Amino acid sequence: MNYAASPVLAPHLPLWRSRLLLVLIAGGFLVLAGRAVYLQGLNNDFLQQKGQSRYSRVLEISANRGKITDRRGEALAISTPVKSVWAIPEEVQFSSQQRAKLAALLEMPPREIDKRLNDATGFVYLKRQISPDVAERVSELRIAGLFQNREYRRYYPGGEVMAQVLGFTGADDAGQDGIELAFQSTLAGKSGSRRVIKDRLGQIVEDTESIREAQNGRDLALSLDAKLQNLAFSQLKLALEKHKARAGAIVVLDARTGEVLALANLPTYNPNNRSRLSGAQLRNRVITDTFEPGSTLKPFTVALAVDLGRITPETMIATASGSLAIGKATIHDAHHFGDMTAAQVIQRSSNVGAARIALSLPTEAMWGMFDKVGFGSAPRLGFPGEASGKLRAFKNWRPIEQATMSYGHGISVSLLQLAHAYTIFASDGELIPLSLLRVETPLPGRQVISPATAHKLRDMLELAVQPGGTAPAARVMGYRVAGKTGTAHKEENGGYAKHKYVSSFVGLAPASAPRLVIAVMLDEPSAGQYYGGAVAAPVFSAVMGGALRMLGVPPDAPLKPLELPSDGSEIKETV
């Protein structure tokens, strides 16, 4: 066929145009080939970033929180592995049946799951800290856009017994209170991370690299003894129930090392189930609450007078009238025994005797004694909320204030401060540094009074627990005990509540070579008895006796049953 002769088939376009089109098509292919080489060979970061944004994920690797143990290695707080379920709302795809099963496994209403997914963008937790077996059943649902992280949940084997001292952790396993908060940096460790490739269902198909290794937290050995803690807690609980007290606290110190061997509070809570908590349950009353200590402060006034050479234990103090007028105020004793020795002032807990001794001392020296034993200053244990108490500057003291402070009014202390101060009588006059951690080598104490004065005061305090003293109920069979009762009206609305009391006892044993100092406090006993000798002293006796036997401390007194006075002849201290 002759194409050129046909008017239909004859070409009307110039030849150069077809050649130009061929060149353009070839050039386009070259540009595409060059772009492909550039993106895939020379500069492939862009495509990799886009791919990684769809399939690459950086997962955080939780560090295992350090374990907390008692001084013997018994676990007090441990972390157990759990899982958290989270989602990318835009990617979640599930059927109504899957939704119902997921809600049942997570123990959540289906509408709550919908609400969380609808209210969030990019990331949302559906449920945290679920058990591994539940997490496995959630995975079996194969819901797109649903993921899981490994976490840890804190478990406290001691439950309510150790609650206020250990504290607890939050959902992120970070300390919120107590030891957990105080030593957060030690226990927490540092989280790590790794990069993984996930498929469209969120399942890991490749572990590509470790970005940062996780560093587990360090274990912490406390000074507490779990057996002594249980003993102290159980005896305090019995006393609270018997005397219908509002609250109570007890602390046990090692008189040689300053270690806190037991520390218990009531009311308490279960740190493994904190669904319902009140402020009263959370308070570590031993460390954070203050109160007027009452007659437990008399030994410090007498010790200062003895140390300064103003009196001896045999010095007669004018208390015959049973009262002492200071300005418009009058101080009274509950009993009239006539004049008594300085030792009997402690034994019978005479407010008049303590006031007369105090008024014979320089105010600065008396303030110095209180300051040196730690009153007015926080104990510096590193525990959250440590109370410093109240100790006014001596320049502002009036005579009546100096007198009342001698028997524990107008000054406030925590129970820990009070127990700590008594270490000067348990040692040779040294204030022993305290520790909540196990101590390998005891730190040196600070000399407050002379060794001779400390021994004399220990003898006086021993009289207070004998028949004729205010606390025969504090005695322990087989051991010599020294201690002092305290009973004080509670402060309320700027004054003192007429029928509300704080009852306390602080003591040490064995008196011949003290090993332990124990302080007990009951807040508002309301079953009829409220004197420290009747309410707090029996708790001291039960805990001290059990503790000394647990520690294998040899007896220093005859092993024969002790009888309490049955004729009402025990002395009731002046409130």
Residues 6+ apart with CB under 8 A from 357: 301, 302, 305, 310, 311, 317, 342, 345, 406
Dihedral over Cα of 477, 540, 508, 338: its sign: negative
Task: Say whether 79 is catalytic.
Answer: no
Nearest residue to 239 (alpha-carbon basis) of 526, 501, 544: 526
Let me know if residue 564 belongs to a domain: no
Does 408 reside within a domain? Answer: yes
Q: Which residues contact 212 (CB under 8 A, 6 or more apart)?
A: 191, 192, 193
Residues 506 and 406 in one domain: yes
In a domain, 575, yes or no: no
Asked if 215 and 261 sit in the same domain, the reply is: no
Q: Which residue has the tokens 């007198």?
A: 403
Question: Do residue 452 and residue 418 come from a single domain?
Answer: yes
Residue 305 and residue 445 in one domain: yes
Number of structural domains in the chain? 2
What is the rounded CA–CA span in Å between residue 118 and residue 269?
Answer: 37
Q: Are residues 240 and 156 in the same domain?
A: no
Q: 442 and 356, same structural domain?
A: yes
In a domain, 539, yes or no: yes
Do 86 and 146 lie in one domain? The reply is: yes
B/e letters for 13-42, b = 16+ CB within 10 Å, e = fewer, are: eeeeeeeeeeeeeeeeeeeeeeeeeeeeee
239 and 138 housed in the same domain: no
By CB neighbour count within 10 A (0-12 exposed, 13-18 middle, 19+ buried), where does 207 fall?
exposed
Regions of the chain with pLDDT less than 50: 205, 567-569
Phi, psi of 82 (to 5 degrees): -140, 175
Name the phi and psi angles at 553, rounded to 5: -75, 125
φ/ψ bin of 173: left (φ > 0), alpha (ψ from -120 to 50), beta (otherwise): left
In a domain, 487, yes or no: yes
Token representation of residue 334: 């509950």
Distance CA 432, CA 374 (A): 11
Contact 117, 86 (CB under 8 A): no
Q: What is the pLDDT of residues 467-492, one digit of tens each?
A: 999 999 999 999 999 999 999 999 88
- How many Å apart are CA 415 and CA 541, to the nearest integer? 17
Residue 121: predicted pLDDT: 73
Q: What's the residue count for the chain?
A: 575
- DSSP conformation class of 159: G
Q: Based on the domain organization, do 179 and 76 belong to the same domain?
A: yes
Asked if the structure places residue 68 within a domain, the reply is yes
Q: For residue 5, tell me if it sits in a domain.
A: no
What's the confidence (pLDDT) of residue 52? 57
Give the CATH number, domain containing residue 97.
3.90.1310.10
Among the listed residues 223, 295, 350, 504, the single catalytic one is 295
Candidates 395, 397, 399; CA nearest to 325 is 399
Residues 386 and 454 in one domain: yes
Q: What is the CATH number of the domain that holds 303?
A: 3.40.710.10
Phi, psi of 165 (to 5 degrees): -80, -35
349, part of any domain: yes
184: containing domain:
58-189+207-221
Residue whose C-alpha is closest to residue 287's, from 553, 503, 480, 519: 519
Show the tokens assigned to 506: 């602080």
pLDDT for the residue 567: 47
Do 184 and 250 share a domain, yes or no?
Answer: no
Q: What are the residues whose beta carbons fall under 8 Å from the beta carbon of 334, sequence distance 6 or more? A: 572, 573, 574, 575
Residues 363 and 231 in one domain: yes
